[in-house]
């Protein structure tokens, strides 16, 4: 089992920045690739970013590429999502997720553990 808890969400104006954190406890954090997803009201949960077990090979959805950066600190059992140049369409609940697989997964059902989410609201 891996327990995940997100933090860092909030209300920000368009063009602003937020940094989300996801703290993990339980089994060895570095055994999991980590992903960030988001879900806006009335929409399906969508992939945002993924990072490998070692912290390499970051991969992003086209909608956030160049604006968001995923990183991890295995010594702190934490994954981060730095979000810059935020837009109103980035408004959603953001979730971190852990994946035992090495294959680069980008759909929610492929991930094994989830946090409860943190709300990000971007005002225009």
In a 10 Å sphere around its CB, with 0-12 CB exposed, 13-18 middle and 19+ buried, how is residue 90 labelled? buried
Q: Give, for all 124 residues of the chain, the pLDDT tens digit.
A: 899 999 999 999 999 999 999 999 976 899 999 999 999 999 999 999 999 999 989 999 999 999 999 999 999 999 999 999 999 999 999 999 999 998 899 999 999 999 999 999 999 9
pLDDT digits (tens, 9 = 90+) for 33-49: 999 999 999 999 999 99
CB 34, CB 96: distance < 8 Å? yes
In DSSP notation, 21-78 reads: EEEEEES-GGGSEEEEEEE-TTS--EEEEEE-TTS---EE-TTTTTTEEEEEETTTTE
- What is residue 66's predicted lDDT score, i.e. its pLDDT? 98
> Which residues touch 35 (CB under 8 Å, ≥6 apart)?
47, 48, 49, 50, 51, 96, 97, 98, 99, 105, 106, 111
- What is residue 26's predicted lDDT score, i.e. its pLDDT? 74
Integer Cα distance of 95 and 22 in angstroms: 9
Residue with tokens 């995923």: 70
């Amino acid at each position: 089992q891996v327990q995940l808890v997100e933090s860092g969400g909030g209300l920000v104006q368009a063009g602003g920045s937020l940094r989300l954190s996801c703290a993990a406890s339980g089994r060895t954090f570095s055994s999991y690739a980590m992903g960030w997803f988001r879900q806006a009201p009335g929409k399906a949960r969508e992939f945002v970013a993924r990072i490998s077990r070692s912290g390499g090979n970051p991969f992003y959805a086209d909608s956030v590429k160049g604006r968001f950066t995923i990183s991890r600190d295995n010594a702190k059992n934490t994954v981060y999502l730095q979000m810059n140049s935020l837009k109103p369409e980035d408004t959603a609940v953001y979730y971190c997720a852990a994946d035992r697989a090495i294959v680069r997964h980008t759909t929610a059902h492929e991930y094994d553990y989830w946090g409860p989410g943190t709300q990000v609201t971007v005002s225009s």
